[in-house]
Amino acid sequence: MLRNYTNLIYSASIGAAFLLRIIHIPDQFVWLVVICLVAGALISNFTRIRTTGLVIGFGGLLFVYRFAPGPSPSLIVMLTFLAISLFTATGLLIAADLSTPKEPMKNEG
């Protein structure tokens, strides 16, 4: 059940990244954020080390903050929201891994 919530939060954060256009951020930066969030979600879901996707997502957000034309308070709020949602989704994904029962190892031989 936690994996469903995780994917829902990832999807919501990817959709919310398009709201950066309202703040008049250039389209290149908006697409960079979307690509970094998608890559972070995919890597978090398909690798054993879940926090690798978190680093990629945060890296894209920090890059956009650093090179955005004139950081405004609305940009800071939006990027903070995206970072918190990315952190929450990754945390839920780790919690989902911890809550699944492990199969007992069979002794062969």
pTM (2 d.p.): 0.86
Please indicate, yes or no, if residue 28 is contained in any of the structural domains: yes
Please indicate, yes or no, if residue 103 is contained in any of the structural domains: no
Please report the pLDDT score of residue 105 as a whole number.
65
Q: Which single residue is written with the structure tokens 């080390």?
A: 49
Please report the pLDDT score of residue 99 as a whole number.
81
Please report the pLDDT score of residue 1 as a whole number.
83
Q: Give the tokens for residue 93.
A: 């994904």
Please indicate, yes or no, if residue 104 is contained in any of the structural domains: no
Round to whole Å and give the CA distance between 7 and 1.
Answer: 10
Please indicate, yes or no, if residue 58 is contained in any of the structural domains: yes
Q: Give the tokens for residue 103.
A: 């199969």
Q: Report the domain count for the chain.
A: 1
Contact in structure between 60 and 35 (CB atoms under 8 Å): yes
Please indicate, yes or no, if residue 102 is contained in any of the structural domains: no
Please indicate, yes or no, if residue 101 is contained in any of the structural domains: no
Structural domain of residue 23, as residue ranges?
A: 2-95
Contact in structure between 63 and 31 (CB atoms under 8 Å): no
The ranges of the chain with pLDDT < 70 are: 104-105, 107-109
